[in-house]
Every structure is written in structure tokens, then in C-alpha cells.
């Protein structure tokens, strides 16, 4: 199975300031079609996870442009340009290249 490792585990943030989360995969997530099969999800308190970023760098519908994703085959980053209070929750990366799909351990973002 592909192992996903996230850091940090916890991320205190200040509204208006930038924030960054890292995710590393044990194998390259670059498909032969050129896409990187890495997604980012946010689970807000008491809610189901919601898709933020798909295929490494594409914002899902309705996601504010302060969120951005980037990365190579094994190292990925989620950036929030200016954190807002509504961004608190647990962020997960997930590899969708090869079943079983696997998630990172999560990063808890709190104000």
C-alpha cells in the first residue's frame, strides 16, 4: 500500500496569515497520463470531509482561491494564502493513484 505522511500534526494559525501543510507519499503519484493523483480534503468540526484540491493542484468547485495545491511526484503542499476563521478543521491528503486509496494522518488547523 502507498503510505501517506503529513506534517505538521497540528498547526496553530493567525487569521490573515499564510499557512502550509506538507504531504509525502511512499511512491510517486504521477500517472502515465501526466496527472498527479493527490487530493486534499478538509473535515470541519462535526461535518463530513469536503474536497478542496484534486489532481494535485486543481481547486474543487466553490473552493476559495486562497487555497492552492502543488507538488512533485512524492512531495505535495497545500497552501492557504490568508487564513480565515472558517478554515479550522482537520486537513487530509489522499492518494487516488492505486487502491487501496490511502490518507495522510491529518493536520489539525486551529486559530
Of residues 13 and 35, the one with the C-beta less far from other proteins:
35
| 76, β-bridge pairs | 23, 71
How far is residue 1's CA from residue 58's CA, in Å, rounded to a whole number? 25
Residues 6+ apart with CB under 8 A from 45: 88, 89
- Least gap, CB of 61 to other proteins (angstroms): 8
How far is residue 29's CA from residue 48's CA, in Å, rounded to a whole number? 25
Query: Per CB under 8 A, which of residues 42..101 are in contact with other proteins?
Result: 43, 48-51, 54-55, 58, 60-61, 92, 94, 96, 99-101
Could you list the residues that contact other proteins (CB under 8 A)?
Answer: 35, 37, 39, 41, 43, 48-51, 54-55, 58, 60-61, 92, 94, 96, 99-106
Amino acid at each position: 500500500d502507498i503510505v501517506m505522511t503529513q506534517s505538521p500534526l497540528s498547526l496553530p494559525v493567525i487569521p490573515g496569515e499564510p499557512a502550509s501543510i506538507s504531504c509525502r507519499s511512499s511512491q510517486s503519484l504521477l500517472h502515465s497520463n501526466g496527472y498527479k493523483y493527490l487530493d486534499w480534503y478538509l473535515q470541519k468540526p462535526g461535518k463530513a470531509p469536503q474536497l478542496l484540491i484534486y489532481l494535485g493542484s486543481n481547486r474543487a468547485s466553490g473552493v476559495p482561491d486562497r487555497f492552492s495545491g502543488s507538488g512533485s511526484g512524492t512531495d505535495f503542499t497545500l497552501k492557504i494564502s490568508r487564513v480565515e476563521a472558517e478554515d479550522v478543521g482537520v486537513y487530509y491528503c489522499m492518494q487516488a493513484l492505486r487502491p487501496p486509496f490511502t490518507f495522510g494522518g491529518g493536520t489539525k488547523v486551529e486559530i
